[in-house]
Chains A and B, each alone.
Chain A
Amino acid sequence: MFLTSYEWWTFAFRWLHILSGIMWIGHLWYFNFTQTPSMPKIPDEQKPAISKVIAPTALFWFRWGAMATIVTGLILAHLSGYLLSAIKLGIGDGIPRNTAIGFGMWLGTIMWFNVWFIIWPNQKKALGMVDATPDEKKKAARLAGLTSRVNTLLSIPMLYCMASASHYF
């Protein structure tokens, strides 16, 4: 019975980790490559369709995608037996794969923190989901936007680490 197989569960969490990672990074890139650059080209009367309907839904799947990615990633690393080694970047172990996946894990963890503790609280202000003065909204939108750009930047080496750990190092 495959459900009692350790290897199957390890693979199942790898599969779930990839699914949720695509959900997260897909939305991150949608915000940075598509939505934000398109906003100035959208007529003012049509902008609420983005800010009131599409963005809140995208942010929901974005942040929960981030949560699912980190949870499934930690379980996967534990099941695969390299969690602690990766956390300490493989230092002293001499296993390049663990160093690579460790860098990926730390970059992903920074990105997850940014999503839940900087981007989401500030997007709530910027989108009017919580009370804020116009000045606070402006500052919140700027901080959320810059942090989202930081995550876009970090996603490039993060995915390099994730892929290279299995396919290069």
Chain B
Amino acid sequence: MRAHCALKEPSRLDLRFIDCPQVALCYDEPSQETVVNSEATMKNPLDSLGQTVLLGFVLTVVVHLLIRAIA
């Protein structure tokens, strides 16, 4: 992941002053390899108990709508 220096893109600002030629706000732009590797090592949402419960509530809404649609 390369650190980029810019005063643009405030939503992606990261206060890390790495490799910046001047004192500036930096943001990270993932390289193509990083993106690919991130996807390969992406965790299963079921590894997170919080996400599991959240998905359970989402599925409940779906089931409720299905019951309403069928009955």
A→B interface (CB under 8 Å): 32-33, 37, 89-91, 94-96, 98-100, 103, 107, 146, 149-150, 152-157, 160-161, 164, 169
Contact = CB atoms under 8 A, between A and B. Distances in A.
A146 B45 CA distance: 10
Nearest to B55: A153
B49 A32 contact: yes
Contacts of A107: 63
A151 B8 CA distance: 46
B52 interface: yes
A100 B68 CA distance: 9
A99 B71 contact: yes
Contact of A90 (B44, B53, B60, B71): B71
Contacts of A161: 63, 67
28 contacts: A32-B52, A91-B70, A94-B71, A96-B67, A99-B70, A99-B71, A100-B71, A146-B44, A149-B46, A149-B47, A149-B52, A152-B49, A152-B53, A152-B56, A153-B46, A153-B52, A153-B56, A155-B56, A156-B56, A157-B56, A157-B59, A157-B62, A157-B63, A160-B63, A161-B67, A164-B67, A169-B67, A169-B71
